């Protein structure tokens, strides 16, 4: 998978289990942190309050991660994010975790662009054309 966005993250002590390995659940947090940084780099956020009192957000539909090699406390991991698919209202992102030349893990998250009203009801909505263009540019630059 080609990379649209790269960030790095040091494995903190709190991220590890009793064996000193990064706990599997932490990869999901790292994916979400990379997603948020990617969206900020495009000039938006995962949670955007609107002037009409609604909010545009990207709730998760699915997430998965496959582990290839261990990572330990204080390892510096590079997180490479790819735009896998842009649907009408959905966005699929892929993630690859590297420690130097070692592929540590790969994962994916699928989200749906939603409008959330003041009753917390979510309705899927089409991705705004301007933002879609930014996503397509990021995908094309991969």
Side-chain-side CA neighbours of 127 within 13 Å: the count stands at 21
Distance (Å) of CA 91 to CA 21, 63, 87, 118: 31, 12, 6, 24
Range of the domain at 67: 5-140
Q: CA of 41: how far to CAs of 7, 77, 114, in Å?
A: 11, 20, 20
Distance of CA 18 to the CA centre of its chain: 27
The domain spanning residue 97 has which CATH number?
3.10.129.10
Q: What is the pLDDT of residues 71-129, one digit of tens each?
A: 999 999 999 999 999 999 999 999 999 999 999 999 999 999 999 998 999 999 999 99
For residue 84, CA distances in Å to 28, 69, 141 come to 17, 23, 12
Q: How many CB atoms are located within 10 Å of the residue 87 CB?
A: 13
What digits encode the pLDDT tens for the residues 51-65? 999 999 999 999 999
Nearest partner of 95 among 76, 114, 67, judged by Cα: 67
C-alpha 139/C-alpha 48 separation (Å) is 22
Whether this model's pTM surpasses 0.85: yes
Number of separate domains in the chain:
1
């Amino acid at each position: 998978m080609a990379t649209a966005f790269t960030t790095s993250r040091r494995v903190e002590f709190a991220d590890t289990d009793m064996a000193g390995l990064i706990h599997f659940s932490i990869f999901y947090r790292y994916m979400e942190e990379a997603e948020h940084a990617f969206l900020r780099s495009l000039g938006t956020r995962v949670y955007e309050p609107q002037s009409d009192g609604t909010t545009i957000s990207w709730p998760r539909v699915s997430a998965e991660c496959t582990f290839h090699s261990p990572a330990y406390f204080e390892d510096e991991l590079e997180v490479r994010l790819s735009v896998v698919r842009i649907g009408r209202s959905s966005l699929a992102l892929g993630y690859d975790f590297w420690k130097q030349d070692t592929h540590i893990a790969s994962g994916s998250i699928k989200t749906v662009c939603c409008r959330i009203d003041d009753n917390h009801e979510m309705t899927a909505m089409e991705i705004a054309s301007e933002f879609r263009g930014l996503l397509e540019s990021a995908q094309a630059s991969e």
